[in-house]
């Protein structure tokens, strides 16, 4: 029984990391899409194609991955009693930052579809620092567990 639970934990962790990769790929790609999207003239067929690509990336990859990462991550946390550990609090704080960023991107995609272009290409490129820094901190927390 003990062995089965240990194996189950590893399978959950593998699933968690696989969907983390899908989610992070989307978090890096979507602002890039926005940059190219905003270079297309308003009302052009290219504009419509970008709206479609962004909606598909969110619907097929990013929303399902967000849910699976959270569900499997919380299952792992419960299994090892992570809620009382310092590294997990820091990890969770940065995962919440990534989750808020995800929701902000979803809102920006909706605005773009409605013709509202709030940020310059340069600012959108700079946004890519957010998932990069957050992922680095999160991975250090789960691997090194410094506290
Ligand atoms: C959404 C909420 C999340 C929760 C609740 C969560 C929770 C956890 C837990 C409890 C573990 C097991 C740690 C261990 O076995 O020592 C784990 C593993 C891991 N998590 Fe998350 N996680 C979340 C999101 C993320 C994100 C966004 C990333 C990356 C950007 C990430 C990357 C990893 C990695 C790489 C591992 C494997 C570490 C190892 O080799 O043991 N997690 N996660």
Q: Is residue 1 scored above 90 in pLDDT?
A: no
Dist CA 53 CA 79 (whole Å): 38
Dist CA 30 CA 124 (whole Å): 10
Per-residue pLDDT tens over the stretch 61-101: 999 999 999 999 999 999 999 999 999 999 999 999 999 99
Q: Of the candidates 114, 99, 116, 131, which has an alpha carbon nearest to the alpha carbon of residue 32?
A: 131
- The mean pLDDT value for 50-71 works out to 98
**Which residues are near ligand 1 (CB < 6 Å)?**
13, 16-17, 20, 24, 69-70, 73-74, 76-77, 80, 82, 95, 98, 135, 138-139, 142-143
Count the Cβ atoms, other than its own, within 10 Å of residue 15: 16
Per-residue pLDDT tens over the stretch 117-140: 999 999 999 998 999 999 999 999
- The mean pLDDT value for 25-37 works out to 98
- The pLDDT, as a whole number, for residue 34 is 98
Q: Is residue 25 scored above 90 in pLDDT?
A: yes
- The pLDDT, as a whole number, for residue 13 is 98
3-state helix, strand, coil in the chain (%, to 5): 85, 0, 15
Q: Is residue 2 scored above 90 in pLDDT?
A: no
* CA 66 to ligand 1: nearest atom: 1
Q: What percent of the chain has pLDDT over 90?
A: 97
Cα 58 to middle of ligand 1, angstroms: 22
Ligand 1 mutation pick, 9, 73, 103, max ligand atoms within 8 A of CB: 73
Q: Is residue 48 scored above 90 in pLDDT?
A: yes
Buried b (16+ CB within 10 A) or exposed e, 101-122: bbeebbebbeebbeeeeebeee
The confidence band for 47, taking pLDDT boundaries of 50, 70 and 90, is: very high
- The pLDDT, as a whole number, for residue 120 is 95
> Which residue ranges make up each domain of the chain?
2-144
Per-residue pLDDT tens over the stretch 100-109: 999 999 999 9
């Amino acid at each position: 029984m003990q062995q089965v639970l240990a194996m189950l934990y590893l399978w959950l962790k593998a699933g968690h990391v696989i969907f983390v990769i899908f989610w992070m790929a989307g978090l890096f790609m979507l602002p890039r899409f926005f940059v190219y999207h905003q270079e297309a003239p308003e009302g052009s067929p290219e504009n419509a194609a970008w709206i479609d690509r962004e909606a598909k990336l969110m619907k097929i990859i990013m929303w399902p991955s967000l849910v699976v990462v959270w569900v499997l991550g919380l299952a792992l946390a419960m299994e090892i009693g992570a809620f009382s550990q310092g590294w997990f609090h820091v990890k969770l704080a940065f995962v919440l930052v990534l989750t808020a960023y995800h929701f902000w991107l979803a809102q920006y995609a909706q605005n773009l579809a409605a013709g509202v272009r709030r940020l310059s290409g340069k600012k959108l490129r700079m946004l890519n620092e957010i998932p990069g820094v957050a992922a680095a901190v999160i991975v250090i927390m789960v691997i090194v567990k410094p506290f």
